[in-house]
Amino acid sequence: MKEQGWRIRRADPGDLAGLLPMVEGLARHHGDVPRMTPETLAGDLFGPVPWFHVLVVEEAGALLAYAALLPLARLQHGERGLDLHHLYVTEAARGRGMGRALLAASEEMGRAMGCSYVIIGTAAENVVAHEFYQSRGYAPIPNPARRFLKNV
């Protein structure tokens, strides 16, 4: 997809140097300490078992935004989905439609992969993101289930 001089494409190994600071920036924005390394990012995106699907926005050879997606499923319903784990646009590039275009490209990727849904999580206090996603047709999900975590 190409718009206004920028284009959306799948990430490739040459994008790692541009992706790393954006992933770190998003982590810091949420108060997280980024622990990812160039090696773990490369493995997660391009290793023997790629874990993430990543779309990037490129303009004049520079990366300005990205979306990172993870596969999901509802096995009992025979449904595939994607979790839009990260959606990030650099501060200098905001307001140019890249977030909307990345969201649409993520949905298209899901359809191409046989997915019937995309799920997005946001911080409870991020009202701007809530309004953005709802304006694009996403609905809040009531979640009465509890989730549990154990480090392995």
- The pLDDT tens digits for 21-35 are 999 999 998 889 989
Number of compact structural domains in the chain: 1
Instruction: Kindly state whether residue 144 falls inside one of the protein's structural domains.
Output: no
Instruction: Kindly state whether residue 148 falls inside one of the protein's structural domains.
Output: no
Structure letter (DSSP) for residue 49: S
Instruction: Kindly state whether residue 107 falls inside one of the protein's structural domains.
Output: yes
Torsions phi, psi for 149 (to 5 deg): -130, 140
pLDDT digits 0-9 by tens, 85-105: 999 999 999 999 999 999 999
Instruction: Kindly state whether residue 143 falls inside one of the protein's structural domains.
Output: no
Instruction: Kindly state whether residue 67 falls inside one of the protein's structural domains.
Output: yes
Predicted local confidence at residue 51, as pLDDT: 94
Residue 62 belongs to what domain range? 2-135
Instruction: Kindly state whether residue 141 falls inside one of the protein's structural domains.
Output: no
- The 3-state DSSP class for residue 30 equals coil
Residue 23 has which token pair? 């992933």
How far out from the chain centre does Cα 76 lie?
25
What is the pTM for the complete model shown?
Answer: 0.91
Q: Where are the beta strands (DSSP E) in the chain?
A: 2-3, 6-10, 53-59, 62-74, 79-89, 115-120
Instruction: Kindly state whether residue 111 falls inside one of the protein's structural domains.
Output: yes
Residue 40 has pLDDT above 60, yes or no: yes
Instruction: Kindly state whether residue 65 falls inside one of the protein's structural domains.
Output: yes
Q: What is the CATH number of the domain that holds 65?
A: 3.40.630.30
Amino acid at site 123: A
